[in-house]
Amino acid sequence: MAQITYREALNQALREELDRDERVFIMGEEVGYFGGAFKVTDGLLAVYGEKRVRDTPIAELTIAGAGVGAAMGGLKPIVELMTINFGLLAMDQIVNHAAKIHYMFGGRAKVPLVIRAPQGAGHQLGAQHSQSLEAYFLHCPGLLVAIPATPADAKGLLKSCIRQDNPVIFLEHESLYGVKGDVPEGEYLTPLGQASVLREGKDITIVSYSKCVYDAVAAAEALENEGVDAEVIDLRTLNPLDTATVVESVRKTGKAMVVYEGWRTGGAGAEIAAQIYEAAFDHLDAPVERVATLDTPIPYNARLEKAALPGAADIVKVAERMV
């Protein structure tokens, strides 16, 4: 198995699906000649041509809407929003159109659209370039939300998303593009709605996704030295949400913490915590805790930014209090 980066894994998935299905095409800002703002689509234009790898104007609402229309017109568009922050300009097409068309039109139309977007903080890019907005999409029925942490899942989830018939918000973390990991070559699909247990443990369940998974694993290793045996779960998709795997773990450990980079209030962690309460209340020995970004715009200064974001030390501190 090859060790490749998260970025290369995504690129590989795109190439394989472009090869596999002629209905697949890519459009977005800078995806062609420049190969993508984060180089995820690097080299694709040269292989697949301008018809299937399309540089668009900076017009997020229409890029997303054209994706909806092209999907309804029989294609499988992959739309790249340069970052999810700019994706807010596309919210009408995502929420009012992509998410609703199948239902609102009586199940007669399909919108097989994948919207890829980088997100996340950590690079001193300030409040408008550092957000993690998965909760906005998780809130909306009709949208799948995939949010891979590892290079293998980046590839496997993207391929699975492209092959199914629903609109997907596919969120990549900007800090993960250079992360390397084992990625199977060729056909490799990660099922949607199946969490991955990255580390087994009996004392506490740490549920996470995207970049925070790495913080959770680091925290679990630190906790091990203190005699605390933590289980770490990477959700991989937020819709569908694999509640069963989480609940099974909580039944074993009796304690659960959700770690995520979205804002604490109204974040995905709140939903996950609520589902744990609903399904495993009797098994809980402590309240479910959330370790998340503080309820503040992301600041520019590095010390302030770090203070706003969740990290391994925060996880350790909260876990120590819980066990």
Partner 1 sequence: MDLGKDKMLEMYRMMTRIRLFETQVRDLATASEIPGFVHVSIGEEASATGVCAALRPADRITSTHRGHGHLIAKGGRLDRMMAEIFGKRTGYCKGKGGSMHIVDFSLGILGANGIVGGGIPIATGSALAAVVTQRDEVTACFFGDGASNEGTFHESLNLAAVWKLPVIYVCENNGFGEFTPMQTVTSVTDIAVRAQAYGIPGIVIDGNDVLEVYRCASEAIARARAGEGPTLIECKTYRWEGHVVGEQAFLGKASYRSEEEVAEWKARCPLIRFEKFAAESGMISAAELKKIRAETEVELEAAVKFARESPLPDPAEVTDDVFSG
Number of residues that bind partner 1 (CB under 8 A): 44
Q: Which is nearer to partner 1, 28 or 269 (CB)?
A: 28
Q: Does 159 bind partner 1 (CB under 8 A)?
A: no
Indicate whether 206 belongs to the interface with partner 1 (CB under 8 A).
no
Contact yes or no for 12/3 (Cβ under 8 A): no
Question: Does 34 contact partner 1 by CB under 8 A?
Answer: no
Question: Based on CB atoms, which residue is closest to partner 1, 1 or 59?
Answer: 59
243 binds partner 1 (CB under 8 A): no
Q: Would you count residue 216 as binding partner 1 (CB under 8 A)?
A: no
Q: Does 86 bind partner 1 (CB under 8 A)?
A: no
Stretch that binds partner 1, among 161-169, 210-218, 228-236, 302-310 (CB under 8 A): 161-169
315 and 216 in contact (C-beta within 8 Å)?
yes
Beta bridge partners of 294: none
252 lies in the binding site for partner 1 (CB under 8 A) = no
CB of 82 to partner 1, least distance (A): 15
Q: Is 165 in the site for partner 1 (CB under 8 A)?
A: yes
Q: Pick the stretch among 89-97, 217-225, 255-263, 286-294 that binds partner 1 (CB under 8 A).
A: 89-97
Cα 228 to Cα 10: distance, rounded to the nearest angstrom: 35
Residues of span 94-153 touching partner 1 by CB under 8 A: 96-97, 101-110, 141-142, 144
Is 47 one of the binding residues for partner 1 (CB under 8 A)?
no
SS (H, E, C) the chain: CEEEEHHHHHHHHHHHHHHHCCCEEEEECCCCCCCCCCCCCCCHHHHHHHHHEEECCCCHHHHHHHHHHHHHCCCEEEEECCCHHHHHHHHHHHHHHHCCHHHHCCCCCCCCCEEEEEECCCCCCCCCCCCCCHHHHHCCCCCEEECCCCHHHHHHHHHHHHHCCCCEEEEEECCCCCCEEEECCCCCCCCCCCCEEEECCCCEEEEECCCHHHHHHHHHHHHHHCCCCEEEEECCEEECCCHHHHHHHHHHHCCEEEEEEEECCCCHHHHHHHHHHHHHHHHCCCCCEEEEECCCCCCCCHHHHHHHCCCHHHHHHHHHHHC
- Is 320 an annotated catalytic residue? no
Among candidate residues 60, 231, 271, 289, the one labeled active-site is 60
Does 69 participate in binding partner 1 (rule CB under 8 A)? yes
Active site residue 60: yes
Question: Closer CB to partner 1, residue 240 or residue 311?
Answer: 240
Q: Which of 64, 273, 292, 308 binds partner 1 (CB under 8 A)?
A: 64
Q: In this complex, which beta carbon is closest to partner 1, that of residue 63 or of residue 81?
A: 63
Pick between residue 66 and residue 257 the one whose CB is nearest to partner 1: 66
CA distance 323 to 303: 29
Per annotation, catalytic residue among 97, 129, 134, 289: 129
Which of residues 34 and 105 has its CB atom nearest to partner 1 in the complex? 105
Task: Show Cβ contacts of residue 49 under 8 Å, excluding neighbours closer than 6 positions.
Answer: none
286 with 253: CB under 8 angstroms? Answer: no
- If binding is defined by CB under 8 A, does position 166 make contact with partner 1? yes
The one among 65, 87, 156, 299 contacting partner 1 by CB under 8 A: 65
* Site membership for partner 1, residue 52 (CB under 8 A): yes
Could you say whether residue 23 binds partner 1 (CB under 8 A)?
yes
The residues that are catalytic are 60, 129
